[in-house]
């Protein structure tokens, strides 16, 4: 994190404060344990989350509140994240604490997993953000695209996780 711009660290209440909140949800044929195994797999993010090109966990396992990681994205952007919620099998959330580009002021992602029984879970993904500079004035245009993109990515997460879970259960 040598050359970076500080982001305003936010809490879970940011979801109620931002006008730029995007929600997607899917029913996933996997256990809460399997879903979190996918969340903890750095490579998996590069498969289902379109802009992500690399994830480096910068804290040792076991992961929890205070865990950090660096995420490399398209366009050469790097986000430095700190987890502010971590209840394995139920919830994890992170905020940007820094970014190598001066466009993001506040950023939060919150993943909630509800065990529906029978190897099925509901996964809810919330993303909230506030940008700075000129891009602040363009958010009204990008909101519909963000909603669509997040739904598509969570659908990819669902398929990836269900394939992972099917492979895990067939090898046991």
Q: What is the extent of the structural domain holding 128?
A: 5-170
Q: What pLDDT shows up at residue 171?
A: 67
Q: What pLDDT shows up at residue 3?
A: 79
Reduced to 3 states (helix: H, G, I; strand: E, B; else coil), residue 41 is: coil
More confident residue, 169 or 145: 145
Mean pLDDT value of segment 26-54: 97
Question: In angstroms, rounded to a whole number, what is the distance separating the alpha carbons of residues 42 and 34?
Answer: 14
Q: What is the pLDDT of residues 65-78, one digit of tens each?
A: 999 999 999 999 99
Q: 72 pairs with which residues across the strands?
A: 54, 78
Q: How confident is the model at residue 139 (pLDDT cuts 50, 70, 90)?
A: low
Q: What is the pLDDT of residues 146-163, one digit of tens each?
A: 889 999 999 999 999 999
10 Å Cβ neighbour count for 61?
8
DSSP class of 142: H
Residue 47 token pair = 């498969």
Question: In angstroms, rounded to a whole number, what is the distance separating the alpha carbons of residues 27 and 155?
Answer: 9
Domain at 86, CATH number: 3.30.530.20
Total domains present in the chain? 1
């Amino acid at each position: 994190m040598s050359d970076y711009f500080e982001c305003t660290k936010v809490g879970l209440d940011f979801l109620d404060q931002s006008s730029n909140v995007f929600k997607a949800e899917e029913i996933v044929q996997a256990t809460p344990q399997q879903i979190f195994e996918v969340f903890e797999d750095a490579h998996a993010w590069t498969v289902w989350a379109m802009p992500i090109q690399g994830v480096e966990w910068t804290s040792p396992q076991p992961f929890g509140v205070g865990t950090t990681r660096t995420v490399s994205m398209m366009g050469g952007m790097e986000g430095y994240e700190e987890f502010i919620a971590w209840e394995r099998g139920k919830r994890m959330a992170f905020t940007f604490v820094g970014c190598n580009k001066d466009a993001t002021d506040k950023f939060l992602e919150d993943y909630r997993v509800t065990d529906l029984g029978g190897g099925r879970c509901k996964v809810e993904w919330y993303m909230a953000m506030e940008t700075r500079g000129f891009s602040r004035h363009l958010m009204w245009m990008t909101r519909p695209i963000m909603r669509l993109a997040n739904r598509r990515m969570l659908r990819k997460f669902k398929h990836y996780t269900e394939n992972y879970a099917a492979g895990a259960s067939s090898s046991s």
